[in-house]
Amino acid sequence: MFDVSIPSLAAVTATFFAAGLVKGVTGMGLPTVAMGVLGALMSPLAAAGLLVVPSFVTNVWQLLAGPNIGSLLRRLWPMMLAIVAGTVLGSAWIASGDTGLTTTMLGIALVIYSGYTLFARQFSITQHVESWLSPVIGAITGVVTGGTGVFVVPAVPYLQALGLSRDDLVQALGLSFTVSTIALAVGLGLHGSFQSERLVLSALAVVPALGGMWAGQLVRNRISPSAFRRGFLIGLLLLGCEMAIRPIL
């Protein structure tokens, strides 16, 4: 059972406000921040259960804000289908109750994402390669999502390499994250890992998440988004390192 004490409620509220703030400034990062911070306070399984509703609401909002959902679906459906399959399969890990393994996996996923985003050079994918690589990337993303609750590896670098316009990229990320959220919820449900109080808390967490996004949009006009993003990624990298080695300390 999840502890619903006042300190726990305060931690969940603060976490989703901070995660929404990051998304408001950078355009992404809510699930990653939420899983990273909550995964340091509770089991990744409990954190994933709390993530579902805020992630779904904010990413559907992002998905529907753009004009090209039809063309993106036609282009990316093999990747999305593979994400669903991989996530449902991978969710057996996060539902297993082995907190040592899932915490280490979550930490490694955070390190890979933040390290890559900080240091790797941008690459591009040709249309010929995309035709067979999309489902491979989708399947890997799904397994990582199912095992850790983190949606971004390797989907985000891959989508960034497709040469999409800025608006289409934002919408494609919203599509990928929405599909991943739904698939994670299905996977957790199939393994009997949804608890009613987590779902209620997850729904309540939408409020601080949206509040954080609103605040982040205000902050974005007053600071350098690139500097903010760099600081956020460095913090995420350090948190991921700590989580990856925690079970062996």
What share of the chain has pLDDT > 70, as a percent?
A: 97
Question: Please, which pLDDT band fits residue 4 given cuts at 50, 70 and 90?
Answer: low
Please measure the distance between the N-terminal and C-terminal CA atoms of the chain and give it in whole angstroms.
26
**Distance separating alpha carbons of residues 166 and 12, to the nearest angstrom:** 32
* 116-141: pLDDT as tens digits: 888 877 788 988 899 999 999 999 99
More confident residue, 3 or 8: 8
Q: pTM of this prediction?
A: 0.87
**Distance separating alpha carbons of residues 207 and 77, to the nearest angstrom:** 31
Question: Please, which pLDDT band fits residue 1 given cuts at 50, 70 and 90?
Answer: very low
Q: Is 194 helix (H, G, I), strand (E, B) or coil?
A: coil
Domain boundaries, the chain: 6-248
**Distance separating alpha carbons of residues 140 and 134, to the nearest angstrom:** 10
- The answer for residues whose C-beta is within 8 angstroms of residue 27's C-beta and 6 or more apart is 62, 170, 173
* 199-231: pLDDT as tens digits: 888 999 999 999 998 998 888 778 887 788 888
* 91-118: pLDDT as tens digits: 998 888 777 888 888 889 989 989 988 8
- Per-residue pLDDT, 142: 96
Distance of CA 202 to the CA centre of its chain: 15
The owner of tokens 């062996």 is 248
